[in-house]
A and B are shown apart, each in its own frame.
Chain A
Amino acid sequence: MNSQILDQLKREKILDLLKTGKRIDGRSLDEQRPLVIETGVIPKANGSARVKLGNTEIITGVKIQLDKPFPDLGDKGILICTAEILPLADPNAEPGPPNEEVIELARVVDRGIRETEMIDLHKLVLIEDKSVIGMFIDSSVIDSGGNLFDACSYASVAGILSCTVPKWEVKDDVPTLVEGVTSKPPIKTLPVSVTMARIGDYVIVDPTKDEESCMDARITITTNSEGNICAVQKGGSDGFTAEQLIQCAETALTVGRKIRKQFEQLM
């Protein structure tokens, strides 16, 4: 269905504009699309968010339930982030088991939240090695317009921030739900993922679907509130120079600060 010549022509047009410091939608190279966050959209979930990043739209729901810890991690609660591109989100998405791109998306979103240690998993333990609180953060892409990595990550973080965690009390070695008592999740830091694409010699922040279709390489960098770099994923069929990557890390920190302010307003 895709035409090689058409992709080349699109790339030439995008590159011509980039030479003048502009992008096809009028943004500057290091400018993100507007981010709109709405929380509490799925009242039946323990936390939820609907996030729009330009034309990309995500719905995330957080479910919190009693669980058994992983055998080797008895002193930690369970945190699992998933992501799915719904077939109604994209003409090229197909129903059925997730393909490698969707699995990469889910894993990168999960890694960003896990490696920044956004949630203090030790505080989710009810009985060590036996009973813990499990948090399932499921993101669904409902409209795909490029940069699903950041959009899903923002939706997941916003969903977690909007969460209320039920209370379980341990009675006779059995956790029992205490009705009507909830608390905020134990949040330590705010992860912000920033994805950049390289097209020719130019590195652009928050690529659209058109820009992604002709990029050479992609990099997603997640930073935490303390300004550390916590998770990175390089993608695409070409590479970056070391100088470009160092620049990308700096961009991720500066761009990330603005997004983090938006998150702070949700707390």
Chain B
Amino acid sequence: MTEDGIRCDGRRLDELRNISIKVGVLKNADGSAYIEFGKNKILAGVFGPRDVHPKHMANPDSGILRCRYHMSPFSVTERKNPAPSRREIEISKVIKEALQPAVILKDYPRTVIDVFIEVLQADGGSRCAALDAAAVALADAGIPMRDLVSACAAGKVADRIVLDVNNEEDQEGQADMPVALMPNLGKVTLLQLDGMLKPEEFKTCMQTALVGCKRVYEIQRKALMEKYFQNGEQ
């Protein structure tokens, strides 16, 4: 990073990478979205509400939400074994728990809503990008939701708080903090931290991430509006 705060990929401290979202890209899935978040390329597909297999997982009082975050073998520099790693299983769980507060499951007892995420190319912050795509795919499937979920990371690189940590910064940096937010309701549904922050840095870092989430939200919004209302928002 340079003295005046220009980062290794040319961004300013508070600048997001380029983000684009396409809604309804898959024909078989009930809802889908494709996101390019910097060099991340991620597909999300939603099926359901549908019959639960195995049956014993079904809840007679409410629907259940399942989530699978998976990386393609060619998504990272070294070819990845396609079997799910412990990292992918943990990320699947935190993504599910970040989406769950938004999704109304009570209306669909004994059913499951499956969210499948495929990381085609990974580049730092893939869990946030995956969450952004998954939330849009859920809305595309017509699943009732209290809010969208928007996610973005912030971190500490070369002693400075930066928004949206990329792969190189994640490797060299001092801290990485992914955050997910329900933007209209103001609720944080995912928060993780890898690294070391002073209490005041923690505060700035979180606020920086939340600002990022709100900017991501505008992009999610635009993508859905373009899909469903051709003129976009008036």
Report A's interface with B, CB cutoff 8 A.
1, 41-45, 48, 55, 57, 59-63, 65, 82, 84, 86-91, 94-95, 97, 136, 138, 140, 142-145
A45 to B75, CA, bound (A): 7
Contacts of B44 in A (CB 8 A): 88
Report B's interface with A, CB cutoff 8 A.
26-29, 32, 39, 41, 43-45, 47, 50-51, 53, 68, 70, 72-79, 82-83, 114, 116-118, 120-123
A41, A87, A145, most chain B CB atoms within 10 A: A87
A145 contact from B27, B53, B78, B122, Cβ within 8 A: B27
Tell me if B28 and A144 are in contact (CB < 8 A): yes
A222 to B191, CA, bound (A): 51
Tell me if A63 and B74 are in contact (CB < 8 A): yes
The distance from the CB of A166 to the nearest CB of chain B, in whole angstroms, is 12
Tell me if A138 and B74 are in contact (CB < 8 A): yes
A62 to B74, CA, bound (A): 7
A138-B77 in contact given A44-B121, A82-B82, A91-B47 (Cβ < 8 Å): no
Tell me if B74 and A87 are in contact (CB < 8 A): no
| 5 A-B pairs whose Cβ atoms sit less than 8 Å apart in the complex | A42-B75, A44-B39, A61-B75, A86-B45, A144-B28
A82 to B80, CA, bound (A): 13
5 tightest Cβ-Cβ pairs between the two chains A and B: A61-B74, A88-B45, A88-B116, A63-B79, A138-B73
Tell me if A136 and B32 are in contact (CB < 8 A): no
Tell me if B26 and A89 are in contact (CB < 8 A): yes
A94 to B221, CA, bound (A): 31
The distance from the CB of B79 to the nearest CB of chain A, in whole angstroms, is 4
A257 to B114, CA, bound (A): 41
A82 to B32, CA, bound (A): 25
Tell me if B74 and A86 are in contact (CB < 8 A): no
B53, B117, B120, most chain A CB atoms within 10 A: B120
A88 to B77, CA, bound (A): 24
A61 to B41, CA, bound (A): 13
A113 to B58, CA, bound (A): 44
A42-B121 in contact given A61-B74, A89-B28, A140-B72 (Cβ < 8 Å): yes
Tell me if A43 and B39 are in contact (CB < 8 A): yes
Tell me if A143 and B72 are in contact (CB < 8 A): no
Tell me if B73 and A61 are in contact (CB < 8 A): yes
Tell me if A143 and B75 are in contact (CB < 8 A): no
Tell me if A55 and B27 are in contact (CB < 8 A): yes
Tell me if B28 and A90 are in contact (CB < 8 A): yes
Tell me if A44 and B73 are in contact (CB < 8 A): no
The distance from the CB of B57 to the nearest CB of chain A, in whole angstroms, is 13
Contacts of B117 in A (CB 8 A): 88
A82 to B45, CA, bound (A): 22
Taking A42-B74, A42-B120, A95-B70 as known contacts, 7 extra A-B pairs with beta carbons closer than 8 A to each other, sorted by chain A number, are A63-B73, A88-B44, A88-B47, A91-B50, A138-B79, A142-B118, A143-B26
Tell me if B74 and A45 are in contact (CB < 8 A): yes
Tell me if A84 and B26 are in contact (CB < 8 A): no
The distance from the CB of A179 to the nearest CB of chain B, in whole angstroms, is 14
Tell me if A42 and B41 are in contact (CB < 8 A): yes
The distance from the CB of A52 to the nearest CB of chain B, in whole angstroms, is 10
A63 to B78, CA, bound (A): 8
Contacts of B70 in A (CB 8 A): 86, 95
